[in-house]
Amino acid sequence: MRLSSIQKGLRSLRLILRWSRLGGGGRSCPAMNTAPATVEFVLANLLYWFDWEVPDGVKNEDLNMQEEGTLVLRKKVPLCLVPTNYIWDD
């Protein structure tokens, strides 16, 4: 029985994923699941400990909210914010 080129490609892909260090299988990266949690932790701390304001002289209405990209959306004009320490009232 002859294998089609698609079946050969799938077979080689399975072999690559099986034996690659950071691919799937028994040799996958052990810290792969910590990256989303770390990003969430850092972002939560930045939002919790700082107040974010636009720079002096810029109004909220003047902000450009246009997006660009296809698979990943990003802003056409980067958003510039100024962090200030949050003042806790006891």
- In this structure, what token pair is assigned to residue 22? 């950071």
Look at 25 and 5; give whichever has higher pLDDT.
5
Between these two residues, 2 and 77, which has the higher pLDDT value? 77
The single-letter DSSP state of residue 20 is -
pLDDT exceeds 70 at position 90:
no
pLDDT for the residue numbered 71: 77
Q: In angstroms, how far is CA 60 from the centroid of its own chain?
A: 26
Residue with tokens 């304001």: 53
The structural domains of the chain, with segments of one domain joined by +, span 1-30
pLDDT band for position 42 (50/70/90)? very high
Cβ(77)–Cβ(65) below 8 Å: no
Whole-number pLDDT of residue 45: 94
Other C-beta atoms lying within 10 Å of the C-beta of residue 14: 12
Q: Which residue has the higher pLDDT, 51 or 57?
A: 51
The pTM of this model reads 0.52
